[in-house]
Amino acid sequence: MPNSEAQVLDPAVVDQAIHWLVRLRFNPADEQTQRTFEHWLRQRPEHFLAWQRVEALGDDFAGVPPDLARHTLKGARSGMHRRQSLKLLGVLATVGGATWLGRDYTPLPALLAQQHSRTGEQRRFQLDDGSLIQLNSDSAVDSYFNEQRRLIVLRRGEIIVNTGADAGSAQPRPFWVQTRDGLIRTLDARFLAHERNDGTLLAVQRGAVNVFPGSSQTLAVNTTVDAGSQRLFTADGVREFKDNGLDVWSWSDGVISARHMRLGDFIGVLSRYRPGLLRCAEEVSDLRVSGTFQLADTDQVLALVAQSLHLRIDYRTQYWVTLSAAS
């Protein structure tokens, strides 16, 4: 039987493993992506071996150009070699990795945005007008202010906006947020905007907000969303947002707060705060989750949920985790 530690891998297979590592660690994985990755992993033993070696190289690997990473991976056949490779990769990652990630795997506008957050990171900052912005995990924004208006462009992810008094302006300027699905306008409000696969979620906690779906230049069609309301809008219009049991504001306090929420939906939300694949088996996806969970330790959240619902946690790798029914 061949020694897998000594096996030299096909460079094409290593490139595929590199691609999957970066894709899963730096971009949210939907169900189709998870299935495609799992199919690739099972196709050939070499795929799983390449994935193991990629994972063994650790966090420093993420920013290395493919040619250098491939060369290092092929030589990482023992514990000592892996430790040496980690040191080399740590140097390489600081030199040119961000450019490679941005060009090949991360949407360029998000990478170049004025403010952005990593997976699992949440940030707060203040704008010149006194407005406070909170970035959720893996989010990015740009801001553009002039004498007539205040504009935030949501490049990726989710934000909470608490508009400032705009005291430096002769008269209050409208505050706009642009998303891929349309525009949001207010003078004074606290609201949340989240770009989702099915549209942009808007939730208003204070004040009132106008929504302009699509890219209409006349801005003639708009919907007013008052405090306490939530709406989902696309380029085609605005509709009610169906509550799935998640407190959409809870992440701003560093927690997930769920009330009778489907496990499948809960896992989908939690996966936004950790790299890699996180999923639950179909037979347990309709179980219900209630409680408040700290986002600082997603492994602890999984342990608590598994204990309360009598589930098994399968850590195939650090970046591939599945919840299923306990045997």
165 & 223 share domain: yes
**Would you say 211 and 184 are in contact if contact means Cβ atoms under 8 Å apart?**
yes
* Residue 214 domain-assigned (yes or no): yes
Domain count, the chain: 3
- DSSP single-letter state for residue 241: P
pLDDT tens-digit readout, 214-262: 865 556 678 999 999 999 999 999 999 988 999 999 999 999 999 999 9
Of the residues 193, 221, 240, the one at which a domain ends: 240
135 & 213 share domain: yes
172 & 215 share domain: yes
Rounded distance, CA 232 to CA 238, Å?
6
* Residue 6 domain-assigned (yes or no): no
pLDDT interval class at 78 (50, 70, 90): very low
308 & 231 share domain: no
120 & 197 share domain: yes
The pLDDT of residue 180 is above 80: yes
227 & 118 share domain: yes
* Residue 283 domain-assigned (yes or no): yes
Burial of 243 (0-12, 13-18, 19+ CB in 10 A): exposed
pLDDT tens-digit readout, 300-321: 999 999 999 999 999 988 888 9
Span of 68-72, 275-279, 298-302 with lowest mean pLDDT:
68-72
The pLDDT of residue 29 is above 70: no
Q: Does 94 or 286 have the greater pLDDT score?
A: 286
pLDDT interval class at 63 (50, 70, 90): very low
**Would you say 187 and 201 are in contact if contact means Cβ atoms under 8 Å apart?**
no
156 & 224 share domain: yes
Q: In the chain, which ranges are continuous DSSP H helix?
A: 11-26, 31-43, 45-56, 66-75, 79-104, 108-111, 263-270, 298-309
Closest CA to 116 of 132, 95, 139, 137: 139
The pLDDT of residue 76 is above 90: no
Rounded distance, CA 13 to CA 38, Å?
15
For 101, phi then psi, to 5°, come to -60, -40
Of the residues 80, 106, 132, the one at which a domain ends: 106
pLDDT interval class at 114 (50, 70, 90): confident
Res 49: pLDDT? 82
Res 269: pLDDT? 96
Query: What integer is the mean pLDDT of 135-148?
Result: 91
The enclosing domain of 224 has a CATH number of 2.60.120.1440
* Residue 245 domain-assigned (yes or no): no
23 & 93 share domain: yes
229 & 184 share domain: yes
74 & 135 share domain: no
Query: What integer is the mean pLDDT of 34-55?
Result: 82
Pairing between strand 230-234 and 199-213?
Answer: antiparallel
Beta strands in 281-319 (DSSP E): 288-294, 311-317
For 80, phi then psi, to 5°, come to -65, -45
Rounded distance, CA 188 to CA 130, Å?
12
Res 48: pLDDT? 84
59 & 124 share domain: no
The pLDDT of residue 109 is above 50: yes
60 & 101 share domain: yes
The pLDDT of residue 127 is above 80: yes
pLDDT interval class at 57 (50, 70, 90): low
127 to each of 145, 147, 187, how far by Cα in Å? 10, 15, 15
pLDDT interval class at 60 (50, 70, 90): very low
* Residue 5 domain-assigned (yes or no): no
Selection from 10-14, 70-74, 108-112, 262-266 with the highest mean pLDDT = 262-266
Q: What is the mean pLDDT of the chain?
A: 80
For 2, phi then psi, to 5°, come to -65, 150
Selection from 11-25, 159-173, 230-244 with the highest mean pLDDT = 230-244
The pLDDT of residue 67 is above 90: no
pLDDT interval class at 27 (50, 70, 90): low
The enclosing domain of 257 has a CATH number of 3.55.50.30
Structural domain harbouring 213: 114-240
pLDDT interval class at 61 (50, 70, 90): very low
Q: Does 302 or 46 have the greater pLDDT score?
A: 302
**Would you say 271 and 263 are in contact if contact means Cβ atoms under 8 Å apart?**
no
User: Which two three-digit tokens encode residue 199?
Assistant: 């549209």
